[in-house]
Structure 1
Amino acid sequence: MQNIESLLQSVTTGSTSILKTTNNKDSYAALDLSIDNKELATVDITNATDCESYIQQILNKTNSTIAFGGYLEKRNLYAKNANFSKLEEAARNIHLGVDFWADAGAKVIVPVNGVVHSFKNNAVFGDYGPTIILKHTVDGQTFYTLYGHLALSSLNDMYVGKEFTKGAVLATLGTAEVNVGYAPHLHFQIIIDIKDYMGDYPGVCTTKDLDFYKKNCPNPNLLLKM
């Protein structure tokens, strides 16, 4: 049996896009929202409008349509949300997926064959908003992919067990109002053992819990090869 990292790398060949805008050809720009990015000292990234404006500047500067990044990035993005920072020593500020920032309405593309495991509108401020989780089984091994910050219409006609083939449109991105406080983007995360979670799974962790989540939520780039 392959280890999970080798399995993820073997599932796709070459760069695998999971977002499609209205442009004829999308181009990607790496985005740094970490606490180490000095440019953010004058940007309130906890404000959806300010965050979106900063990201648009990056896209304009690089002539790109999609900004991406964030795996294991320590961020201030959640600093004003009590759900993430109730206590300083237990602040959840390490991001466990990759974010793809683009215009609301962009199409989310399935990277590998799967079936719907669960879905839910996580409508609490600072959460995922509409969310879909797919289950994938490859060579007898199972893993899950989570898609957060979707449009509400993405949950229409959705049901557990619904099949999606690689390259199919799964959903579209929601607006800041729908994805509960964030500029439009896709949160994409791989999960190995999902336990009893349904339509939800932690996307941000504390430093104390990082070792566990790093193993249970491997780098999505193993699959996407961006």
Structure 2
Amino acid sequence: MKNFEEIITSKASHIQKVIDFDSKTDKLYPLDFTATNTELSPEILSDTNLFSSWVNAKLHNNKATHGIGGYNEHRTIYARSEHFNTAEEPRRLHLGVDIWAPANTSIYNFYDAKVHSFANNNNFGDYGATIILSYNIEELIFNVLYGHLSLASLKGLEEGMIIPAGAKIAELGVKEENGFWPPHLHMQIINDMQGLKGDYPGVCKYSQREEYLANCPDPMLILKYSFE
């Protein structure tokens, strides 16, 4: 049986956009949230407005319309929230791709899907409004979590509802709706939801890295963006 990468690659012409992006006029800028980024002081990280201003300045100064990155990135920024701390080892390894863009930016479904579940995960530092869609592509079944959405994005949803390819599914939320983060989309592929609904860890302990990455392939295979 073909693996995830082989199937997604073979269906590349059928994969539609997740966010409005014109490669001829728009530019992506990779944002680094590891320990090597010494610009992000505790003061900035503790204040969502300051954090948002930092992100916006990085995009503006680099003439970029969107920030992107984060898959398999060991991030220091999660120290801003107790949500990621555990007694034995804090969670710091990011399992999805983040796309940084203004609040109210439209999010689209890239392929025919159905609603697996949805929730408002409203802890500080959490996803806020969250939608999880299930996909079946050539008998490859997997799920995609879309996090940090607007609360309005959850209205009218029902589990099992069919969402066609190309349909607008959500908008990015403001800080009060998205877990108190600068506006962005957290997109994460999840093969096995392990019985969870409306939520799945987007950040894991480094000691569990291999286990979680095996269950959460790189979303860039779907996004198909480059940094050229």
Tell me by how many angstroms 1:224 deviates: 1.5
List aligned pairs for 1:128-143, cutoff 5 A: 128-143=127-142
Asked whether 1:126 is paired with 2:125, we answer yes
- Relative to structure 1, the CA distance from residue 164 to residue 25 in structure 2 (aligned partners, 3 Å threshold; closer, same or farther) is farther
CA deviation map 1:160-219 (0-9, x unaligned): 122222221110010011112111111000001112110110000011110111100011
- Relative to structure 1, the CA distance from residue 218 to residue 225 in structure 2 (aligned partners, 3 Å threshold; closer, same or farther) is same
Using the TM superposition, name which of 44-53 and 55-64 deviates more: 44-53
What secondary structure is seen at the aligned counterpart in 1 of 2:130? Answer: strand
Partner in structure 1 of residue 11 of structure 2: 11
Give the Cα–Cα distance (whole angstroms) in 2 for the partners of residues 134 and 171 of structure 1. 12
List aligned pairs for 1:1-226, cutoff 5 A: 1-13=1-13, 17-20=17-20, 26-41=26-41, 44-87=44-87, 89-226=88-225
Tell me by how many angstroms 1:123 deviates: 1.2
What secondary structure is seen at the aligned counterpart in 2 of 1:193? Answer: coil
Say how many residue pairs are matched: 223
What secondary structure is seen at the aligned counterpart in 2 of 1:57? Answer: helix
Give the Cα–Cα distance (whole angstroms) in 1 for the partners of residues 182 and 138 of structure 2. 37
Structure 1, unpaired ranges of 5+: none
Tell me by how many angstroms 1:56 deviates: 0.7
Runs ≥4 residues deviating over 6 A: none
Give the Cα–Cα distance (whole angstroms) in 2 for the partners of residues 45 and 34 of structure 1. 13
Give the Cα–Cα distance (whole angstroms) in 2 for the partners of residues 43 and 168 of structure 1. 39
Contact residue 154 and residue 172 of structure 1 kept, 8 A: yes
Overall identity of the aligned pairs, in %: 39
What secondary structure is seen at the aligned counterpart in 1 of 2:149? Answer: coil
* Alignment root-mean-square deviation, CA: 2.1
Structure 2, unpaired ranges of 5+: none
The letter of the residue matching 1:220 is: P
CA deviation map 1:96-130 (0-9, x unaligned): 00011111100001122211111111112211111
CA deviation map 1:125-159 (0-9, x unaligned): 21111100000001111011100010000011111
